[in-house]
Structure formats: C-alpha cells, structure tokens
Structure 1
Amino acid sequence: MSDQLNYNMEVIKVEKSRINDVDFNNLSFGKIFSDHMLICTYKNGAWNAPKIVPYQSLTLDPSTKIFHYGQAIFEGLKAYKDSNNDVFLFRPDENCKRLNISAKRMAIPELPEAYFMDGLKALLQVDKDWIPTQDGSSLYVRPFIFASGRGFHASPSDEYTFIIATAPSGPYFSGKVTVLIEEHYSRSANGGVGYAKAAGNYAGQFYPTQLAVEKGYNQVIWTDDNTHEYIEEAGAMNIFIRINDTLITSPTSDRILDGVTRKSIIDIAKSEGIPVDVRKITVSEVIEAANNGTLKEIFGAGTAAVVSPISGFGFKNKDYILPELENPYANKLKKRITDIQTNKAEDAFGWRVKV
C-alpha cells in the first residue's frame, strides 16, 4: 500500500457553514455533524481517489447489497485541539490497521493506508473549526465502508463506498453505570466476526441490552458463547476488572475486539506500576471476589467513553455493589490517557499524531 497520496485531493467546500448554529457548550454524542465528509468508491476492481465533499445524504438503490447481506464495517476515533489550536489524533494507524482486518474478514477489499491516513488529515484540516475545546469534548471521527453494489444474489458486492464523517461531541457517558451479566445471549462465537468491527455485531447486541435496561441496568456484560462462564466484554467496550491491586482483562480472540483504548490502558497501567493480568476470568471468580471484598473496580474501555466506571452488577437475580474508592484506577488511567490525547502531558509512547 502507498505511504502517501500521489495527487492533489479534490475538495468541494460548502457554500455556507452550519457551525454558527451549533452550541458547543451543550453537545450530545454523535448527533451533530460537521460541514464536510470524505468519500471514496471501489469500482472495477480498484479504489478510486478519495475526495472531500459537503456532508450530505446518500441515494441508494433498494437492491444495494448492504441492505441484504450486511457487508459493513466501521471505526471510531477522535480528534482533539490543544490550547495552541493544534490538532491531534490518537493512534490512528491502529484504526487503519483494524479497518483492514475487519475488511478482510467481511470479504471487503482492503483500503490503501494513504487513503485513510492522508484523507483523514485532509478532512480535519478542512473542518478544523469543528473540533471542540470544552473539557470532555472532542471531534468524533467515524470511518466506515459498506457494500454499495446492487443485486439480490447472495455474494460479496462488486462495489463499495468508504466514508469518513465527523461529529463534534460531548461525553459519551455521564456518571457510573450498572450492568447485568448475560447468561443466555452471546455477542459473538468462535470462528465468527467478533474481532471485526462489523456493523452486525452491534445490531445483535441491542435486544439483549434492551432486556437488561428493562430490568433497571444500563448495559450488559457479555460472557462466552459456549458455557457463559467467562467474562468477555462490557456492552460495546472491552472490560477491566480489579481484584485487590491487580487489573485483569480478557485476552483478545475471535470473539473479542482488539480495542485501541484497551491496549493503551494496559501499557499505561504497566508504566504506573499497576500489575496487569491478561487472562480469562470467570464469572464465579468475580462473584467470589465481590463476596470476600477483594473486588475493587470494574470498568469498560473504548474510544467513545475512554473509561466508563461500573458501580454495580447483577447476576442470577442478585445485585452486587462495588466500593467507592478514594483513588480508583479508572480515574487515574482515564486522566493519563486523555492528557496524552489532548497534549496536556508528555507522550512517552509516541501515540499522539499531530495533524
């Protein structure tokens, strides 16, 4: 794959920006969209040159294959602006790499790295003013690919569309959440597409999560598909469990997404001297730790929320409340990672990328 674009990208700007209509002090997550988007199509066996155009609706034929066979993948990352008005991304190369891992699993042609990386940077330069500076806010970036070819035949599409759209957003979650450990439904299975960021993975989560919400919980903790004995993920996030002073997280697999925030938290925790154990952990071990007082914290980790502390969980019609700690790992790790992302602290890992 090419390391850089070998042409001048076409940029078609909006006639009038919508930015003055936006209240940047009261942003919800992912509901307001910036002026422009990047678009790139795959036709006749090759990806065509990307271009930047005004954010707009798409017109699709009813036979477009995404509607019928679900070939769709996406990524999520954020852009930040520091006090000097400089723009930064956090480990975008990992998102590009994972997009193509997902593409391969879903029989979608891999995207040239330069189309992702240079295209993203060009888009952010055009919509730089849309990056919020309020605490907890950022410009959420959504790259995605979907099958845009037509036909009812059950086969991979012959055409695809790649888009990067952005949304100035406030915090994903506010406060702590309660979760229900799932005993019946599964997020993914061995040999499946759980490790890919495929759209259908999330569609399949909505119904079990809805059932948990009806019981008074905010989210679901997913367990393995075979025995439901092992903790795997928390909602759409990777999960960390602190027993005594050790932070435990499940290893990635066919079923578990290789989260960028997850791997960053592991490295930051180790640099802080926090013991990290990447291993399978059973529901029974978590229950036992809750009963004997050694369970200190559970939190989710993902791009949107960064770190989401869990205040309690339910299992087999019983609720377990986690202790209120003075200096939880969750707060310390979230601050370390967000300070790197927003250029408020030294980046000893080389993760921060200036646009």
Structure 2
Amino acid sequence: MNKLTFIDLYAGIGGIRFGFESVGAKCLFSSEWNKFAKITYEAFHGDVPVGDISLVDIEEDIPEHDILTAGFPCQPFSLAGVSKKNSLGRAHGFDDPTQGTEFFRVKEILKAKKPKAFLLENVKNLKSHDNKKTFKIIEEQLDTVGYDFKSFIVDSAHWLPQHRERIFIVGFRKDLLLKSTLSSLEIQLPKKRLKNLSSILLKEEDVLQMFGNKYTLTPGTWNALQRHKRNHQAKGNGFGFGLVSPPFDTKTTRTMSARYYKDGGEILIEQEHSEIPRKILPLEACRLQGFPKKCEKFLNGEYQQPVSDVQFYKQFGNSVSVPVIKMFAKIITDNLRKSDRAGEK
C-alpha cells in the first residue's frame, strides 16, 4: 500500500506536520506567510513553506494528496480577537476582509483536489461565533464540496499540563462511505498525561545558572499585572495573571497565547529566590506544546537559535499541541487504510 500523503496549510511552525508524520504520512506541500515562522519551520522540518496561499495556483502548484490539514487563522473567531476588533470598530469572522476569508481558500482547495480526508483546527469560539452562524456556513460549505465530517472540542490538558481547548473538524470524502464511522467516532483520551509540569519546567537553580534573571519579570511589569488583577477583582471578574506555585507535579497552566511575549501574564512561575515570578522559557513553551525533542535542540543551546525569544513565544502560542494532533492523525490514517483495504477486496 502506498504511503498516505498530506499537505500542511497555514502551517505555522509545523506542529500539525509532526503529528501526521508520527503515523507514517508524508508531507508533500506546506504554506505559511509569516517570515519568522517560515524560518523556524525550516529549522524544524528541513524545508521552507511557500508563502501566501492565496497567491498559489491550486491546480498547478498544489500536488495531489490524500489528506489536507489546516490551522487556518483563528484571530477573527477567538474571544480575544472578537473583543479587540469590536472595541476598534473592525469586522471579525467572515466579515473580516482578510483573515476571515481564509476558510474559503481551504474550501476551494478541497473542491479542486478532492483529498480523501481533512483535519481543520481552530479556536473553540469558532463554533459559537456570531450566534453559530459562522460555523453553520462552514458546515454548509464542507457539505457542498462533498465531505462528511464531525467536529470535536478537545482540551490539551488530557495530554499535557496546559488548558488549551480547540475545535478540530475531521472530514472524509463522501464516496468513501465513512459517514457512519464518523458519527460513532468518540475521542479516546489517555489514561494519564504524557508529561507533568515538573518534567517540563527547568529547576530554578538551572534557570539562574544559565540565564540569571533574564526571564524574571521587571518590578514595573509585575506591579502592573498585580494592579490589573486587583482592578478586575474589584469589578467582580476573574481576569488577571496566572501564577503557578510549587509543587508543580499536578498543576495545569492556563492557555499560552501569541501575546505571551508581552508580559507572560497567562503563565507565571513562582520562584523561591525572588518575590517576583518568571516567564516560562521558550524551551519550556516548546515542551508545553508537546513538540518533539529534536526541536528542543534549537532552544537549549545545542543548535543555533533561529529566531528571537519574542518570535518563539508567538510561534508556540499560535501553534497546536502535538499529542492531540497525533491522536487525530491516527484516527484519520487508520480509517483511510481500512477503506483502502476494503476497496482492494
């Protein structure tokens, strides 16, 4: 049987690619517009994604493939993104004139190339955005281009010590007759986490020896975060920084986002030697997303770091939790292989 193939759209730094390669699938094509993400993608995977997918000729430039994967831009649908755009009087969702239309590019590729299956990933809020109208449009479009599909909201905290809820849409081409398989499909959660937080975080003495106080917040930033939290508490809501204190074994962090580089407010680590907490290191961010060990070599000093800490924080904050992708990759490839065997009989 030929090896299953996939394309990696809106690839970021290739977290989805790692998941599908782990189950034996081969990547034939990738796209990513951000120049810094492309640098990291090349460091992690050995090839450079093409740029803006909207400028690619679908028929000529995108190869035939079995599986389409896409973590299409989520800012137009995220709670933070919607809130920010509302405050600025700007459009969001499918009214966003740029990012919000990226799903339709995915749809056009599905329509033209007709892969056997797809995996789409986005923020949880995609399902409820605009009184569920956005998701209804997505469902209608996927049905129109010939796919059966099912959506799942999954929290990475079952695999890794980070709360990270995302929506995943798994689809199979209708002629493969896997609709009943999809309808009965349930996510198999692991019995225990692959990693706990203490195995992800460096020991405090090691951080101090290697970096000194580089990742400790400045007094000004720490005071501002505490003031911000007090103001929100006075208003009766729970907004504010997320401080993680030892012992770390059973702890779970908040969701790391692309804005983490600004002040680290989502995930702060309490320190014994200082009253001021520190941010997680880029190396720890890599581990918190479950990236392979080979990626750590670009963050622990073994290999030259390809981009700045700021860019790494943005990239891991925008990325996927690899163990979750591995689970979906196995579901999709197992069903495609079964379908291929059935077709051979």
Quick check: which one's strand share is greater? 1
TM-score normalised by length of structure 1: 0.25
